[in-house]
């Protein structure tokens, strides 16, 4: 259904006024480079937690992974566990404190700069910035798709117009207010997202007769699994896929591990650890971040799965059949069909908040990677104008790339593109990042070797082995006459399980056969206990 545009307009106007107030407030408080790049390094723990969570959980999770759950089942709830245990607890307690400490000691203002200065390498900073600039637009593009698809369905407006509306609004406050504006608006948007998801869960269970009744009905739909999915290992929406089946490998390696582990090496998330003033603030943020992720991702996946019960009861069809094969349409179609009109309006604001919070983080990270890390520090050796000015130009370029991708990417791409980006970051950055934080013996040569091997082994696997990317790309077919150069189970094993261990082995091996870093530099990196 299409909601009342006049009512929606009032809600959107109120929301936008609140967003622009947060952006204006941040703009007034942005006076130094640290303010624009790192929000002044004194962010409140609650704002940090909501900003981190809102940047992490976007329309990609709500629309994309909600749709995946509607198709493949509630096994995706293991990803919620990974998001909380790895993405919040491990990330904040172990990675966060050391990232903040080393970042302060080395006066680093971006994730690539942290790595580059720890290993005394402009190449690492520039290469990392270029990698972010090349591949994060894919992630930003699919976040734009998620928000725009819901606006298209709810407002009956053209998809292209919806993309432009989202882009212009986010660009306005990111370019002017920097990371401080991003985090202030994230906190507002995160609060809205929490409320929207809580109501969505309650209304869904009420519509389906209660918690037990809803999940029992979903279990009872197991015999209705389409033949194509059953052949791939699908055993029903409340059961894991058959062990070792293609769907099991997709669920476990790509979705649960790919995104669940890849979060540790997300540049737009890691940089937030450098925005607080103490380790204590990071520890406090865990208590807000964990419940936030549980409500956001957990509700999206549960509702995505239960949408099958609603559609079967009302239309005699499963969610994927209603969506005509496009998983990205399942959640918007369910919400617009099953929820009251007023809630559709409220939830559209929730989705706008989810999209805008993640997009703002991505645009800021891509802008700093392009302008500060790659151009100013790597190409121009630090001699190319003011950091903030160069970064604003970089943000504009990043926005342009992201919008172009939002127009040309195919259907059902949201969850897959998210997993690709998370997996690539894990392979390229995680071994080097872990070494930078926890292993003083890791050398510049080991870090560079790990970075290169992780990047290209991941891209190689995506291009020539992993069927979901290799077959559509067609490069393997053109060069070797086969869809994938390996066959059988290998074609459904995600690159993260191959490229990341390989990069770790290379990092350790090369570091052990090269000269250790200077003691004076290590003391500078780790010596300050603030």
Alpha-carbon distance of 16 to 348, in angstroms, equals 13
Please tell me the total count of domains within the chain. 1
Q: Nearest CA to 458 among 423, 412, 407, 509?
A: 423
pLDDT tens digits for 345-372?
777 777 777 777 777 778 888 888 888 8
pLDDT tens digits for 423-451?
889 999 999 999 999 999 999 999 999 99
Q: Return the axis-axis angle of helices 414-438 and 496-512, rounded to nearest 10°.
A: 20
List of residues 6+ apart from 50 with CB closer than 8 A: 186, 187, 190, 191, 288, 292
* 306 is a domain residue: yes
Backbone angles phi, psi at 208, to 5 degrees: -100, 10
* 44 is a domain residue: no
Alpha-carbon distance of 278 to 280, in angstroms, equals 5
For residue 451, give both structure tokens: 């970075």
* 464 is a domain residue: no
Alpha-carbon distance of 514 to 452, in angstroms, equals 17
For residue 418, give both structure tokens: 């998210």
How far, in Å, are 77, 119, 306 from residue 472 at the CA level?
28, 38, 31
Record the pTM.
0.85
* 305 is a domain residue: yes
* pLDDT at site 521: 94
Q: Which residue is associated with the tokens 């890390």?
A: 373
* pLDDT at site 348: 76
> Could you count the other beta carbons within 10 Å of the beta carbon of residue 481?
7
List of residues 6+ apart from 510 with CB closer than 8 A: 443, 445, 446, 449, 450
Helix (H) or strand (E) holding 505: helix 496-512
DSSP-derived secondary structure for 318-385 = -HHHHTTT-GGGHHHHHHHHHS-HHHHHHHHHHHHHHHHHHHHHHHHHHHIIIIIIIIIIIISTT-SS
* pLDDT at site 345: 78
Q: State which residues form the domain around 337.
A: 5-28+52-411
Are the C-beta atoms of 96 and 282 separated by less than 8 Å?
A: yes
Helices (H), ranges, 90-210: 97-106, 111-118, 122-155, 159-207
* 466 is a domain residue: no
* 530 is a domain residue: no
How far, in Å, are 47, 129, 253, 264, 394 from residue 27 at the CA level?
17, 25, 42, 29, 18
Alpha-carbon distance of 197 to 299, in angstroms, equals 6
Alpha-carbon distance of 68 to 300, in angstroms, equals 10
* 361 is a domain residue: yes
Helix (H) or strand (E) holding 387: helix 387-408
* pLDDT at site 530: 46
For residue 64, give both structure tokens: 């994309």
Reading phi first (left if > 0) and then psi (alpha if -120 to 50, else beta), residue 415 is in alpha
Alpha-carbon distance of 145 to 151, in angstroms, equals 10
How far, in Å, are 178, 431, 489 from residue 86 at the CA level?
28, 15, 27
Alpha-carbon distance of 147 to 490, in angstroms, equals 34
Full pLDDT tens readout for the chain, 530 residues: 445 556 666 776 777 777 777 777 766 766 666 666 655 567 778 888 877 877 777 766 788 888 899 999 999 999 999 999 998 899 999 998 899 999 989 988 889 999 999 999 999 999 999 998 888 887 787 777 767 766 676 667 787 888 888 788 777 767 766 666 677 777 777 788 888 889 999 999 999 999 999 999 999 999 999 999 999 999 999 999 999 999 999 899 888 988 888 889 888 888 888 877 778 888 888 888 888 888 888 999 999 999 999 999 999 999 999 888 888 789 888 988 898 888 887 777 777 777 777 777 788 888 888 888 888 888 877 776 666 777 778 878 888 888 887 777 665 566 667 778 888 899 999 999 999 999 999 999 999 999 999 999 999 999 999 988 888 878 899 999 999 999 888 999 999 999 999 999 999 999 999 999 999 999 999 985 44
Q: Return the axis-axis angle of helices 444-464 and 122-155, rounded to nearest 10°.
A: 40
* pLDDT at site 179: 66
The gap between the terminal CA atoms of the chain, to the nearest Å, is 55
Maximum C-alpha span of the chain: 70
pLDDT tens digits for 165-216?
878 877 776 776 666 667 777 777 778 888 888 999 999 999 999 999 999 9
Cα dihedral: 169, 174, 176, 180 (round 10): 130
CATH at 377: 1.20.1730.10
* 379 is a domain residue: yes
Helix (H) or strand (E) holding 283: helix 279-315
């Amino acid at each position: 259904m299409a909601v009342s545009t006049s009512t929606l307009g009032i809600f959107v106007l109120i929301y936008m006024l609140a967003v622009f107030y947060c952006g204006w407030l941040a703009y007034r408080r942005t006076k130094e480079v640290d303010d624009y790049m790192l929000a002044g390094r004194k962010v409140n723990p609650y704002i940090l937690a909501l900003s981190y969570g809102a940047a992490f959980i976007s329309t990609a999770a709500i629309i994309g992974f909600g749709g995946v759950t509607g198709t493949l089942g509630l096994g995706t709830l293991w990803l919620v566990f990974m998001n909380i245990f790895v993405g919040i607890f491990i990330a904040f307690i172990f990675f966060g404190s050391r990232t903040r400490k080393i970042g302060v000691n080395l006066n680093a203002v971006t994730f690539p700069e942290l790595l580059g200065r720890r290993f005394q390498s402009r190449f690492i900073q520039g290469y990392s910035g270029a990698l972010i600039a090349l591949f994060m637009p894919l992630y930003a593009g699919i976040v734009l798709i998620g928000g725009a698809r819901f606006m298209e369905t709810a407002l009956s407006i053209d998809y292209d117009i919806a993309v432009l509306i989202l882009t212009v609004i986010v660009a306005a406050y990111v370019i002017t207010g920097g990371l401080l504006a991003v985090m202030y608006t994230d906190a507002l948007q995160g609060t809205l997202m929490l409320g929207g998801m809580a109501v969505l869960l309650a209304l869904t269970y009420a519509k389906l007769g209660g918690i037990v009744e809803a999940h029992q009905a979903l279990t009872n739909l197991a015999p209705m699994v389409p033949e194509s999915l059953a052949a791939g290992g699908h055993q029903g929406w409340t059961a894991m896929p058959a062990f070792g089946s293609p769907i099991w490998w997709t669920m476990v390696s790509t979705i649960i591990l790919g995104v669940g582990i890849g979060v540790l090496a997300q540049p737009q998330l890691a940089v937030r650890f450098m925005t607080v003033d103490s380790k204590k603030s990071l520890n406090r943020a865990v208590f807000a971040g964990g419940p936030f992720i549980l409500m956001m991702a957990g509700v999206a996946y549960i509702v995505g799965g239960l949408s099958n019960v609603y559609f079967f009861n009302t239309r005699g069809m499963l969610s994927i059949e209603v969506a005509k094969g496009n998983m990205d349409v399942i959640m918007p179609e369910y919400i617009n069909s099953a929820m009251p009109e007023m809630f559709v309006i409220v939830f559209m604001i929730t989705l706008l908040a989810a999209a805008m919070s993640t997009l703002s983080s991505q645009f800021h990270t891509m802008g700093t990677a392009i302008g500060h890390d790659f151009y100013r520090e790597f190409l121009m050796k630090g001699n190319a104008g003011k950091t903030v000015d160069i970064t604003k130009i970089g943000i504009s370029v990043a926005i342009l790339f992201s919008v172009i991708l939002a127009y040309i990417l195919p259907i059902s791409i949201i969850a897959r593109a998210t997993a690709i980006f998370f997996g690539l970051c894990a392979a390229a950055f995680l071994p080097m990042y872990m070494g930078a934080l926890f292993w003083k013996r890791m050398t510049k040569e080991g870090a560079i070797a790990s970075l290169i091997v992780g990047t290209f082994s991941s891209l190689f696997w995506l291009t020539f082995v992993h069927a979901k990317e290799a077959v559509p790309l067609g490069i393997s077919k053109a060069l070797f006459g086969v869809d994938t150069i390996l066959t059988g189970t290998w074609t459904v094993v995600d690159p993260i399980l191959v490229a990341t261990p390989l990069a770790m082995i290379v990092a350790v091996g090369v570091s052990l056969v090269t000269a250790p870093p200077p003691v004076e530099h290590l003391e500078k990196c780790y010596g300050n206990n603030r």
